[in-house]
Chain A
Amino acid sequence: MVIMIMPVLYGAGWTQNWESIRQAMSQIHSISAIFTQKKNLRILARPLVSKGRFYYRAPGDLRWEYQSPIKNVLLVHGDKVAMYVWNKEGFTKDQGPQLEATRIVMEQIASWLNGNFHDNRAFIPKLEQGNPPKIVLIPAKDYLAKFIKRITLTLSGTSGAISLIEILEPQGSSTTIDFSHIALNTPLSDTTFEKVK
Chain B
Amino acid sequence: MKYFFLLFILFLVPSCRTVTPLPHPAAISTSLREKCFPAVSQSAFRAVHVIHATIRGQSSSFIGVTIADVSTDRIRATLLNIEGLVLMDAVDNKGKITLYQSMQPFNSVRFADGLFDDIRFMFFPPHGDLIDARVKADGTVACTWIDHGHVFEKNAAVSGETMIKEYDSDHKIIRQVRLSPPIIKGFYKDISMDHYYGSGGYSLSLELLEGEHLKHVDGLFAP
Q: Which A residues are within 8 Å of any B CB, using their own CB?
A: 37, 39, 41, 43-45, 48, 50, 64, 66, 69-70, 72, 85, 87-88, 92-99, 101-102, 105, 147, 167, 169, 171, 173, 175
**Which of B89, B105, B205, B209 lies in contact with A97, CB distance below 8 A?**
B105
Question: Cβ of B205: which chain A residues have Cβ within 8 Å of it?
Answer: 87-88
Contact A95 B59 (CB under 8 A): yes
Q: A98-B60, A99-B60 are in contact. List 4 more A-B contacts (CB 8 A).
A: A96-B53, A98-B85, A101-B85, A102-B83
Question: Cβ of A69: which chain B residues have Cβ within 8 Å of it?
Answer: 50, 209
**Which of A45, A85, A147 lies in contact with B85, CB distance below 8 A?**
A147
Min CB distance, A33 to chain B, in Å?
A: 16
Min CB distance, B110 to chain A, in Å?
A: 15
**Which of A39, A70, A101 lies in contact with B61, CB distance below 8 A?**
A70
5 smallest CB-CB distances across A and B, nearest first, come from A96-B60, A39-B84, A175-B84, A95-B58, A85-B61
A-contacting residues, B79-128, CB 8 Å: 80-87, 89, 100-101, 103-106
- Taking chain B's interface residues, is the majority helix, strand, or loop, or is none over half, making it mixed? strand
Contact B82 A41 (CB under 8 A): no
Min CB distance, B53 to chain A, in Å?
A: 7
- Taking chain A's interface residues, is the majority helix, strand, or loop, or is none over half, making it mixed? mixed
**Complex: A86 Cα to B100 Cα, angstroms:** 30
Partner-contacting stretch, out of B35-43, B62-70, B133-141: B62-70
Min CB distance, A28 to chain B, in Å?
A: 22
Contact A93 B67 (CB under 8 A): no
Question: Cβ of B33: which chain A residues have Cβ within 8 Å of it?
Answer: none
Contact B46 A173 (CB under 8 A): no
Contact B212 A45 (CB under 8 A): yes
> In the complex, which residue of chain B has the Cβ closest to the Cβ of A99?
B60
**Complex: A41 Cα to B100 Cα, angstroms:** 13
Contact A43 B78 (CB under 8 A): yes
Question: Cβ of B63: which chain A residues have Cβ within 8 Å of it?
Answer: 48, 70
Contact A50 B82 (CB under 8 A): yes
Contact A44 B65 (CB under 8 A): yes
**Which of A45, A70, A97, A173 lies in contact with B86, CB distance below 8 A?**
A173
Contact B86 A105 (CB under 8 A): no
